[in-house]
Structure 1
Amino acid sequence: MNELMTPALAGAAAGLGVAVPMGAMSVLLLQEAIHHRRTAVAAASGIAVVDLGYAALATALGPWVASHVSPVEAWVRLASALILLTIAAHGLTRSRHPPTSKTPPGPGPNPAPPALEARGAGRSPGGRGAAGGASRPVKAFARYVGLTAVNPTTALYFAALTTAQGATLGSGAAGAAFLVGVGAASLLWQQSLVALGALAGSRISDTARAWTFRLGYGLVAAYAVKIALPLP
């Protein structure tokens, strides 16, 4: 058991090393959690799955991944930046007309609180809203898997790390323990961001929430420019 603890802890450190830096995906995840926590939980799982997948690939084929991704890294970075800029532009456009959570006056007895109303949006039982609410986490999971997968930095990070580990991850059990550590640490961090975003979202006004979206998507745009440079 002790011989598996070392690679597991190394995997946990590697997972935190790639997850903790607050890049564009972290900002998007926080935005998602403010809007809809259940969707953000699925999105966070998608990010962790990609981290785990790249770690598994690198553990098996570390040197091969590094040698084949490096020649086209600049073009992959540029494609990633264009995707992020599109997301930022769409988010900034939507933030100009944020949806209000106010309930219009009507004959109903106790209107639902804004937070509950926002969380319940699209969940009408038995209707199209219920179906849309059920599919939203699945779509978020797939979207965040795709957005995270196009970033070559994660692949190169794990390739360099596992290559440096060398014989330490030579056995199947040690490699598995390393991957468990990576997946658990990444998932824990991403879900912590979801909890933070959901907590903030339930305590801020509509105006403040709109400004957090503008700031967040502005950061996404700035990060997109950063990763695109130098141009290929």
Structure 2
Amino acid sequence: MTELLSPTLGGAVAGLGVAMPMGAMSVLLLQEAMRHRRTAAAAAAGIAAVDLAYAGLATALGPWVASHVSPIEAWVRLASAAILLTIAAHGLTKSNPAPPAFEERGPGRSPGTPTPPTPSGPAEPPAPPAQPAKAFARYVGLTALNPTTALYFAALTTAQGASLGTGAAGAAFLFGVGAASLLWQQTLVAVGALAGTRISDTTRVWTFRLGYGLVAAYALKIAFPLPTLG
């Protein structure tokens, strides 16, 4: 049982690393929660399902790739770590108090959506909430549009091919990814239902930094031991 703890925790860290940066998808989810919590819960499950699907595909292919490049395994790990550090650095450079307009989703979510202008006329009645199944499908589609998440998990699992070579270890890793991502998304739903979209810029910046900080930490973990030139 204890041998599965490490891949489970590793999957949880990977899942939080991809889920926590709070940007466009997170803001949309908060807005959905403010309107209708049940619909938002289905949308959150859609986001987590894409994270899990990308992780599952990468976990299935990663060990196979790693087994065919075993002579240069240390260099593969180093290249994977470089990809992750690039993703983290790119995300951290965007973590500023004034997020830019809607962008594609990064390894977690990209930074923010524009604030709609305040209407000058009478307020329109709120639109009826979408069906939970439709919300799930919509958020699956929105989340899957950006391939960076797939690249993120591919880099992780290729670098750890040997440790995820058994079915039990791979399943534990996927469980950690899915559970952590879903837990974070449902936490956002709860926050949105209680506080609406009144999330401060400072809070958004620090969740963004923490999420990409986890990506950078994971990159350093898989980079060592470094390859030797001898």
TM bucket (normalised to shorter chain) is 0.5 to 0.7
Q: 2:16 maps to which residue? A: 16
Q: 2:207 maps to which residue? A: none
Q: Which amino acid aligns with 2:183?
A: L
Q: Which amino acid aligns with 1:178?
A: F
Q: Which amino acid aligns with 2:60?
A: A
Q: 2:157 maps to which residue? A: 162
Is 1:43 matched up with 2:67? no
Task: Quote the Cα distance in structure 2 between the aligned partners of 1:19 and 1:52.
Answer: 11
Per residue, is there more helix in 1 or in 2?
1
Q: 2:3 maps to which residue? A: 3
Task: Quote the Cα distance in structure 2 between the aligned partners of 1:146 and 1:98.
Answer: 33
Is 1:181 matched up with 2:176? yes
Q: Which amino acid aligns with 1:188?
A: L
Q: Where do residues 1-232 of structure 1 align in structure 2 (5 Å cutoff)?
A: 1-62=1-62, 81=103, 92=116, 96=119, 99=123, 136-201=131-196
The alignment partner of 1:169 has SS state of coil
Number of aligned positions between the proteins: 162
Q: Which amino acid aligns with 1:51?
A: D
After the TM superposition, list the runs of 4 or more consecutive aligned residues in structure 1 that deviate by more than 6 angstroms.
Answer: none
Task: Quote the Cα distance in structure 2 between the aligned partners of 1:198 and 1:164.
Answer: 39
Per-residue deviation, 1:18? 0.3
Q: 1:226 maps to which residue? A: none
Per-residue deviation, 1:17? 0.5
Task: Quote the Cα distance in structure 1 between the aligned partners of 2:6 and 2:123.
Answer: 49
TM-score, L = length of structure 1: 0.60
Q: Which amino acid aligns with 1:92?
A: P
Per-residue deviation, 1:191? 0.3
Q: 2:89 maps to which residue? A: none
Bigger Cα Rg: 1
The alignment partner of 1:167 has SS state of coil
The CA deviation string for residues 137-163 of structure 1, in whole angstroms up to 9 with x for no partner, is 111100000000011110000000111
Task: Quote the Cα distance in structure 1 between the aligned partners of 2:142 and 2:9.
Answer: 27
Q: Which amino acid aligns with 1:28?
A: L
Per-residue deviation, 1:23? 2.0
- Residues 179/99 of structure 1: CA separation in 2 closer, same or farther (3 Å cut): farther
Contact 2:30–2:192 (Cα < 8 Å) also in 1 = yes
Task: Quote the Cα distance in structure 2 between the aligned partners of 1:139 and 1:161.
Answer: 31
Task: Quote the Cα distance in structure 1 between the aligned partners of 2:9 and 2:185.
Answer: 18
- Alignment root-mean-square deviation, CA: 3.5
Task: Quote the Cα distance in structure 1 between the aligned partners of 2:103 and 2:17.
Answer: 22
Point out where structure 1 has 5 or more consecutive residues left out of the alignment. Answer: 65-69, 71-79, 102-117, 123-132, 202-208, 220-232
Q: Which amino acid aligns with 2:147?
A: P
Per-residue deviation, 1:100? 6.2
TM-score, L = length of structure 2: 0.60
Q: 2:218 maps to which residue? A: none
Task: Quote the Cα distance in structure 2 between the aligned partners of 1:8 and 1:98.
Answer: 52
- Residues 7/40 of structure 1: CA separation in 2 closer, same or farther (3 Å cut): same
Task: Quote the Cα distance in structure 2 between the aligned partners of 1:46 and 1:98.
Answer: 34
